[in-house]
Amino acid sequence: MELFWYIVLMTMLAVYVILDGYDFGAGIIHLFFSKTEKDKKAITNAIGPFWDANEVWLIASGGVLFFAFPTLYASSFSGFYLPLMMILWLLIFRAIGLELRGQVHNKMWEAIWDKAFGISSLLLALFFGVALGNIVRGVNLGGVVDGVSTHEAHYFFLPLWNPSFSPHSEELGVIDWFTLLLGIISVVALTIHGANWIIYKTNSDLNEKLKKVVFYLNFVLLALVIISIAIWHIIDPEPFRNFITDPWLAIFPIITLTGLFGLFKVKSFKKHGVGFVYSSLFLFGGLTSTVASIFPKVLPSTNNINPDLTLYNVAAHEYGLNVGVYWFVIAAVLVAAYMFIQYKVFNGKMDDVGYGEH
């Protein structure tokens, strides 16, 4: 049952990254590329009916984490307390940036909330990439100092960064050169993803420009992915051991590369939704490839004193996991019905929605 709930959790997180990811990307596009009021309205119209529902996937993922893997939940929410609070405030500012902008028709008022929406989206994309970097790199479980644990084996706490900015420091920080690299990859990938969503859902004058943005940013993304793979062995001496042991796991890197190289044809796509499919494949493949590389670890330990947190030593009791399956089936049916209705109602282009206008 641990494996079942692990797959459920990872699937929910992947859905969140794909759905709320295009919201973050749209915010970044809004920040850097929307020059006219018409462009700004096109972007907010594209995500307006969806962004708040997309965020529910993050809340639901947290609920599954709390239910199925309580030790991991307790460890992560205490250790990453500071960045989690920052993410919470960024989510709030992104939301109120969308909702308050149209309340007062004043250029200064609108400019303030435009910046709140755009900067929050940019930082959220960065922080979620940094979070993935922390999971890959691991943390100092137990707060080991000079070979002695200062806390319980599953407990840790991280400042935002350490003076050395190194992923090999005994006293790690949330941000170092490795986690920052993954954060930058996240920003670039989600910018591409958001641009593809805007192209898919609008007939904006921005669309031709955004196709060029996607094309050129894809070269940057390819270079960053190659660099991250090349230096991965600095963090983990055997980063590909799971793929060698279980060759079928290669399906996930193949999905990643399919999405990445498919995006180079963005200028020739006749159907506007094809680019969004390819960027979704890249995000799904990238996340699942990373998770598969560290499996069954869910939070590696950077010291030799306390063991890694794995799928099996952080799970709840078997009875609770079994009972939860029945409730999960009901919830899955309701969510599927809701999403079907939502995307059916808001099918097609969104240029005339008029989101946020008062």
CB 199 within 8 A of CB 27: no
The predicted pLDDT at position 7 comes to 92
Using pLDDT thresholds of 50, 70 and 90, give the confidence band for residue 355: low
The predicted-structure confidence for 145-201, as pLDDT tens digits, reads as follows: 877 777 788 888 888 888 888 888 878 888 999 999 999 999 999 999 999 999 998
The predicted-structure confidence for 91-114, as pLDDT tens digits, reads as follows: 998 888 888 877 777 788 888 888
22 alpha-carbon distance from chain centroid: 10
Residue spans per domain, the chain: 2-345
Distance (Å) of CA 356 to CA 5, 73, 308, 349: 38, 36, 47, 17
For the segment 31-35, the average pLDDT, to the nearest whole number, is 87
What is the per-residue burial (b if ≥16 Cβ within 10 Å, else e) of 326-355? eebeeeeeebeeeeeeeeeeeeebbeebeb
**Residue 168 DSSP class:** T
The predicted-structure confidence for 191-233, as pLDDT tens digits, reads as follows: 999 999 999 988 888 888 899 999 999 999 999 999 999 888 8
Cα gap 90→316, rounded to integer Å = 31
Cα gap 40→98, rounded to integer Å = 11
The phi and psi torsions of 115 (rounded to 5 degrees) equal -65, -40
